Structure 1
């Protein structure tokens, strides 16, 4: 709501900086009334019907804003508790780095809205910049802590960087590592057909305990596959997939 009002340059009606004119100039008063009513209309359409029914008769956008602030601002503490709890329990687990990063940043950005900030724009000692930098470090630490242990090496490299990269930069450095692992995993799944066949034969035998000497049968079948592959390579120079095993292994 504040973003929309700021785009229309009407925040002054909410904070009271644009007061109702006291003179007799009807054009100025008419302009103020029209803009004030537009603000009231926007606010009423931004809240639920139950809330709008209790504030529909307020004549000033500033009074309306103060009424809502007084009624609902005190509820931010439970929300802060909830966000803090989500951050403490947030981890990558089975999610991708991208999904985990999005969840963490969304929670962190909402939490940052509840932190007190200086709005006077007159500070020259740098005291406002220090807390902001500290919050950024906290966000990066939360992101790195929640990563899976498989990223411990790249996480250690990021922690030794000086200055510590931002959260977006840390994500940009870790994301290619995840993509590389996906490619390596896909290549590894198709590079060892005999090993894959060994697992298939053993799994098949495990489901059929009635077959005698299933371990010996598995080794014989694997040896036959290897001999068949060498023969096929000698004859045609190629190796065809997938292998079709005779019953009961086919």
Structure 2
């Protein structure tokens, strides 16, 4: 089902194909199922925001825009800590362990 969320499985559009009606029905059933799963997994206030979207991939993209955060501050601090780490009087094993912890 992840293909519906990721956008790999798109809504059939070629009505000239032999199995169009069946493919469209399958897509709509699965897409609706996934949207229902997502709505049942979020609070009602968030679910209301999702009602305007027609596909599971649109819902997922909306949630991703709202809740995915890049953590540049943490990454920056980690890079500073790694650059600042020096062996000094530590053994190789202690230094390796300190670097691995970072």
1:73 aligned to 2:64?
A: no
1:227-238 equivalent positions in 2, closer than 5 A: none
- Note the alpha carbon deviations across 1:29-63, whole angstroms, 9 max, x for none: 00000000011011111112211111123110011
1:183-198 equivalent positions in 2, closer than 5 A: none
TM-score (norm 1): 0.27
Which residue does the alignment assign to 2:94?
none
Which residue does the alignment assign to 1:22?
13
TM superposition shift of 1:18? 0.5
- Note the alpha carbon deviations across 1:64-103, whole angstroms, 9 max, x for none: 11111112213x539x85xx9xxxxxxxxxxxxxxxxxxx
Whole-Å Cα distance in 1 between the matches of residues 49 and 7 of structure 2? 21
TM superposition shift of 1:23? 2.3
Secondary structure of the corresponding residue to residue 17 of structure 1: coil
Whole-Å Cα distance in 2 between the matches of residues 57 and 63 of structure 1? 9
1:41 to 36, 41, 45: 36
Which residue does the alignment assign to 1:196?
none
Please list every run of 5 or more consecutive structure 2 residues that lacks an aligned counterpart in the other structure. 78-98
1:81-160 equivalent positions in 2, closer than 5 A: 81=74, 138=100, 141=101
Whole-Å Cα distance in 1 between the matches of residues 61 and 48 of structure 2? 16
Whole-Å Cα distance in 2 between the matches of residues 53 and 31 of structure 1? 25
Please list every run of 5 or more consecutive structure 1 residues that lacks an aligned counterpart in the other structure. 1-9, 85-136, 143-250
Secondary structure of the corresponding residue to residue 41 of structure 2: coil
Which residue does the alignment assign to 2:47?
52
Whole-Å Cα distance in 1 between the matches of residues 33 and 71 of structure 2? 31
Larger Rg: 1
TM-score (norm 2): 0.63
TM superposition shift of 1:20? 0.6
RMSD, aligned α-carbons? 2.3
- Runs in 1 of length 4+ with deviation above 2 angstroms? none
